[in-house]
Amino acid sequence: LKLITEHPQLLSRILIAVVAVIIAPLLEEMLFRGLFQTTIRSYIEAFRPLIASSNKPEKEQTTNRNGPWLAIVISSVLFTMTHNNTGHWPALFVLGVCLGYSYEKSGSLFRPIFIHAIFNATSVIATLIK
């Protein structure tokens, strides 16, 4: 957003907007949800048998329902920390959690990519009309 305000040339602003609205959401969601969140969740699920109580009958054993949420939180923290403006970190963390949840619920990267693109587009538009 700072870049787009520093470059008054139309072509520069268009290129920055394309990167912010299309390329960044695509790459970041593939990395943070597609790779990190999925990998973290897989590790948590791999250790589930070690966590579950072996004294209880199989029907009574609780599954680790916190696995997806723990993966969402960890990947959201990583997502947040990659952004330079620490003042935006609380909002970016909430966005990361929403993106992670949408990925878990849909099982597809299309939904978080779309949400991320809409978020970035709204931010770019708001910055440009100031």
Each of the 130 residues of the chain gets a pLDDT tens digit; together they read 888 999 889 999 999 999 999 999 999 999 999 999 999 999 998 887 766 655 555 554 455 567 799 999 999 999 999 999 899 999 999 999 999 999 999 999 999 999 999 999 999 999 999 8
Q: Which pLDDT score is estimated for 86?
A: 94
pTM of the model: 0.84
Q: Which pLDDT score is estimated for 47?
A: 84
| Identity of the amino acid at 48 | R
Q: How many CB atoms lie within 10 A of CB 96?
A: 28
d(C-alpha 119, C-alpha 17), whole Å: 12
First-to-final CA distance of the chain: 12
CB–CB of 109/29 below 8 Å? Answer: yes
Contacts of 30 (CB under 8 A, 6+ apart): 109
